[in-house]
């Protein structure tokens, strides 16, 4: 799944590779997908609106990739399980896709969705109404995400309601662009169990968690994303994940306890019961 680090990596690649290219044709809905989020324009309108537009820039907001189509529109990608690929040759195009853009220099961009994902067109002026950018959530890579802002989020959690570390990071209050993928290593390296009650974290634990969040996210970006995700050149990211499906039942790299997995809050969590404290 594309999360904050991959959205940043992919949007930079899109900007560097596609900037200045003019759309010759655009097809959406060739292979309809139930969870392809498209926005208010029909597939036919989409094709008409994209034709002749120029790619000006691309950037990420949370786990959403935004591509500025000049004049006046934004193509929104990301936030799910998409394969976003750049093609120099027609023969490398996937047979089934949810988006195919051909540029005037005979290069292409395709999006193939598994799970869910964005192939949304919106008017630039409507960006603040984007339904999948959680504007109210703190962006952990923004200047606002200071240690004191992080501590304030923890202190503001309601006393009576439980809030685990995983819930805190991905839903309530949630950090922008963070999902069930990147939290696994962040919690492992912070020695926090994903089910750990956030309010029970000591001052030192909160500081370590905050620092680790920043360090690991930056590392993921610098290494071109996690090794579970591919970039627009079909290359896997260089960040080697510590905890994932293939490390279940293998010894913890720190203490040799066997790594466990569990279903929790709509996704699998991986953890070491010795290293990651529950209380
Ligand atoms: Zn361990």
pLDDT value of position 196: 98
Give a yes or no: residue 56 inside a domain. yes
Q: Six-digit token pair at 55?
A: 């790619």
pLDDT value of position 168: 98
Residue 151 and residue 243 in one domain: yes
CA–centroid distance, 140 to ligand 1, in Å, is 26
CA–centroid distance, 272 to ligand 1, in Å, is 5
Map residue 181 onto helix, strand or coil.
Answer: coil
CA–centroid distance, 58 to ligand 1, in Å, is 40
Average pLDDT over all residues of the chain: 97
Which band of pLDDT confidence, cut at 50, 70 and 90, is reported for residue 9?
Answer: very high
- Output the CA angle 17-80-35, nearest 5 degrees: 115
Residue 4 has pLDDT above 90, yes or no: yes
pLDDT value of position 206: 97
CA–centroid distance, 254 to ligand 1, in Å, is 5
> Could you read off the pLDDT of 87-131 as tens digits, one per residue?
999 999 999 999 999 999 999 999 999 999 999 999 999 999 999
CA–centroid distance, 276 to ligand 1, in Å, is 7
pLDDT value of position 115: 93
Residue 217 has pLDDT above 90, yes or no: yes
How many angstroms separate the CA atoms of 210 and 234, rounded?
32
Which residues span the domain enclosing 216? 147-271
Residue 97 and residue 56 in one domain: yes
CATH number at residue 79: 3.20.190.10
Residue 8 has pLDDT above 90, yes or no: yes
> Could you read off the pLDDT of 52-86 as tens digits, one per residue?
999 999 999 999 999 999 999 999 999 999 999 99
The answer to whether 34 and 114 are in contact (CB under 8 A) is no
Report the Cα–Cα distance between both ends of the chain, in Å, rounded.
30
pLDDT value of position 147: 98
CA–centroid distance, 194 to ligand 1, in Å, is 14
CB atoms near residue 174 (< 10 Å): 18
pLDDT value of position 128: 97
Residue 115 and residue 171 in one domain: no
Residue 220 has pLDDT above 90, yes or no: yes
Domain ends where: 129, 158, 188?
129
pLDDT value of position 208: 98
> Could you read off the pLDDT of 163-202 as tens digits, one per residue?
999 999 999 999 999 999 999 999 999 999 999 999 999 9
CA–centroid distance, 242 to ligand 1, in Å, is 11
Give a yes or no: residue 159 inside a domain. yes
Q: Considering the chain, what percentage of its residues have pLDDT values greater than 70?
A: 100
Residue 35 and residue 104 in one domain: yes
CA–centroid distance, 192 to ligand 1, in Å, is 11
CATH number at residue 167: 1.10.8.50
Give a yes or no: residue 140 inside a domain. no
Radius of gyration of the chain (CA): 20
Residue 153 and residue 249 in one domain: yes
Residue 266 and residue 215 in one domain: yes
How many angstroms separate the CA atoms of 172 and 164, rounded?
9
pLDDT value of position 279: 86
pLDDT value of position 14: 98
Residue 90 and residue 51 in one domain: yes
pLDDT value of position 78: 95
Give a yes or no: residue 29 inside a domain. yes
Which residue is listed with tokens 């010894």? 251
How many angstroms separate the CA atoms of 100 and 118, rounded?
13
CA–centroid distance, 165 to ligand 1, in Å, is 18
Domain ends where: 94, 129, 164?
129
| Verdict on whether the full-model pTM lies above 0.95 | yes
Which residue is listed with tokens 């202190």? 155
Residue 108 and residue 186 in one domain: no
Give a yes or no: residue 134 inside a domain. no
CA–centroid distance, 184 to ligand 1, in Å, is 13
Residue 93 and residue 158 in one domain: no
Give a yes or no: residue 139 inside a domain. no
Give a yes or no: residue 142 inside a domain. no
Query: What mean pLDDT is predicted for residues 7-22?
Result: 98
pLDDT value of position 176: 98
Which band of pLDDT confidence, cut at 50, 70 and 90, is reported for residue 277?
Answer: confident
Which band of pLDDT confidence, cut at 50, 70 and 90, is reported for residue 160?
Answer: confident
Say how many domains are in the chain.
2
């Amino acid at each position: 799944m594309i999360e904050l680090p991959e959205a940043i990596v992919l949007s930079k690649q899109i900007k560097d590779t596609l900037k200045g290219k003019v759309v010759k044709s655009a097809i959406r809905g060739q292979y309809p997908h139930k969870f392809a989020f498209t926005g208010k324009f029909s597939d036919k309108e989409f094709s008409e609106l994209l034709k002749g537009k120029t790619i000006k820039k691309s950037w990420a907001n949370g786990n959403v990739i935004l591509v500025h189509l000049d004049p006046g529109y934004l193509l929104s990608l990301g936030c799910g399980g998409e394969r976003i690929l750049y093609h120099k040759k027609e023969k490398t195009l996937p047979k089934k896709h949810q988006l195919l853009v051909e540029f005037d220099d005979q290069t292409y961009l395709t999006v193939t969705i598994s799970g869910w994902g964005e192939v949304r067109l919106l008017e630039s002026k409507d960006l603040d109404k984007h339904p999948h950018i959680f504007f109210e959530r703190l962006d952990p890579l923004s200047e606002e995400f200071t240690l004191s802002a992080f501590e304030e989020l923890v202190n503001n959690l309601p006393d009576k309601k439980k809030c685990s570390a995983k819930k805190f990071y991905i839903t309530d209050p949630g950090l922008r662009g963070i999902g069930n993928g990147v939290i696994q290593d962040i919690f492992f390296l912070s020695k926090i169990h994903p089910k750990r009650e956030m309010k029970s974290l000591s001052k030192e634990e909160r500081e370590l968690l905050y620092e680790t969040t920043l360090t690991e996210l930056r590392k993921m970006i610098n290494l071109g994303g996690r090794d579970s995700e591919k970039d627009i050149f079909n290359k896997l990211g260089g960040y080697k994940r510590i905890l994932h499906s293939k490390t279940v039942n293998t010894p913890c790299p720190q203490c040799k306890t066997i790594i466990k997995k569990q279903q929790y809050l709509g996704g699998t969590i991986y953890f070491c019961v010795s290293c990651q404290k529950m209380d």
